[in-house]
Amino acid sequence: MEDEFGFIRKITPKQHHQESLQEGIGDDAAIWRPIKDSEQVVCLDTMTEGVHFTRRTMSPAQVGHKALAANLSDLAAMGAVPEFYLVSIAIPPSWNENELREIYEGMDSLALQYSVDLIGGDTVSTEGPLVVSVTVIGRVENGVRLLRKNARAGDVVFITGVLGESAAGLSLLLNNKLSDDVKPLLAAHQTPMPHIKEGRLLAGLKQRIALNDVSDGLASELHEIAEPSAVSIEIERDKLPVSEHLEKFNSEQQLNWMLYGGEDYKLAGTASLETFEAMKQQFEECDLQIFQIGRVTEKQSAFVYITDSNGKRALEKKGYNHFKK
């Protein structure tokens, strides 16, 4: 690595896509003009080598892709249109400049698909593992609030895609079980696609919808809706759609990955039956997936239950937790 200034020059985009951008990379901070009748939405998520990826589980380009995708997924969960991103990178000596460029290429090619512009960041050295933090900024129409606290008794519980593929992919990578037929599972783990289009459809309905993206696992995300909404949620085992790529694994393994695996970056939420019917129709028209998996039950302390042929049991708020392993 020559020096950080040369590196920043190399990763500076040659053009931008957002007309609202006034000043991007190159000064002390970026400037943009918020678009009329919309509100700004912002969030930040970090990926750390050894925790979120290793050199064995992900290539540098995949690390870049996933760091941005995880953030775009949070914007999707707010129904927002992504506009800008900023990247903080702490670089250990073990990573060379080519690999770092590849991380940015991974982000760049995903960003291009959504016309999202890189407008700033920070570059530092570290003696610890590689750490990439991405901040994304987007906008949503005034008043649209797809909040976790929006669930009400009687609502339908839905998800916008199959779950568990990423955790299965990770398990195969860690156990070196790599064959052509598992490629979709590896891709689900290494290059997940954020459900931006799904989030925009949900925002466009202008209805009360509780929404969350699945980063830590379905069980954990449903608790994150049940708690602030002060409701309980009941899902049905048989209604959880099983990915065709998971069919060869046994039912218990599938369920474990679907409920607790995480990093799926699909959306999970609740809405009234009427809103759900409208949703279903629009998703169908756009060739997008949506599945009803349960109901929000009586107002009571925040529990999440699953029912199957053996009856009903409470699901723990288990899933990926950085401080409980």
Question: Which residues in 58-77 contact Mg ion (CB under 5 A)?
Answer: 74
Rounded-to-integer distance, Cα 310 and Cα 302, Å: 22
Least separation, in Å, of the C-beta of 322 and ligand ATP? Answer: 9
Query: Nearest to residue 117, comparing CAs of 6, 204, 31, 201?
Result: 31
**What's the Rg (C-alpha) of the chain?**
20
45 is in an annotated binding site: yes
Please report, as a single letter, which amino acid is at residue 119.
I
Backbone angles phi, psi at 172, to 5 degrees: -65, -40
Least separation, in Å, of the C-beta of 238 and ligand ATP? Answer: 28
| Buried b / exposed e along 72-91 (16+ C-beta atoms within 10 A) | bbbbbbbbbbbbbbbbbbbb
The C-alpha angle 183, 79, 35, rounded to 5 degrees, equals 125
Least separation, in Å, of the C-beta of 183 and Mg ion? Answer: 26
Q: Decide whether 18 or 215 has the Cβ nearer to Mg ion.
A: 215
Residue 157 forms beta bridges with which residues? 270, 294
| Site residues for ligand ATP per CB under 6 A | 43, 45, 70, 74, 215-216
Q: Decide whether 5 or 323 has the Cβ nearer to ligand ATP.
A: 323
Question: Which residues in 214-253 contact Mg ion (CB under 5 A)?
Answer: 215-216
Least separation, in Å, of the C-beta of 74 and ligand ATP? Answer: 5
Rounded-to-integer distance, Cα 157 and Cα 214, Å: 14
122 is in an annotated binding site: yes
Q: Decide whether 45 or 102 has the Cβ nearer to ligand ATP.
A: 45
52 binds, among ligand TPS, ligand ATP, Mg ion, none (CB under 5 to 8 A by kind): ligand TPS
| Site residues for ligand TPS per CB under 6 A | 45, 51-54, 57, 70, 170, 215-216, 262-263, 320
Structure tokens at 7: 């590196």
Please report, as a single letter, which amino acid is at residue 321.
N
Q: Which residues are annotated as a binding site for ATP?
A: 104, 121-122, 148, 215
> Rule CB under 5 A: which residues touch Mg ion?
45, 74, 213, 215-216
Return binding residues for substrate: 52, 263, 320
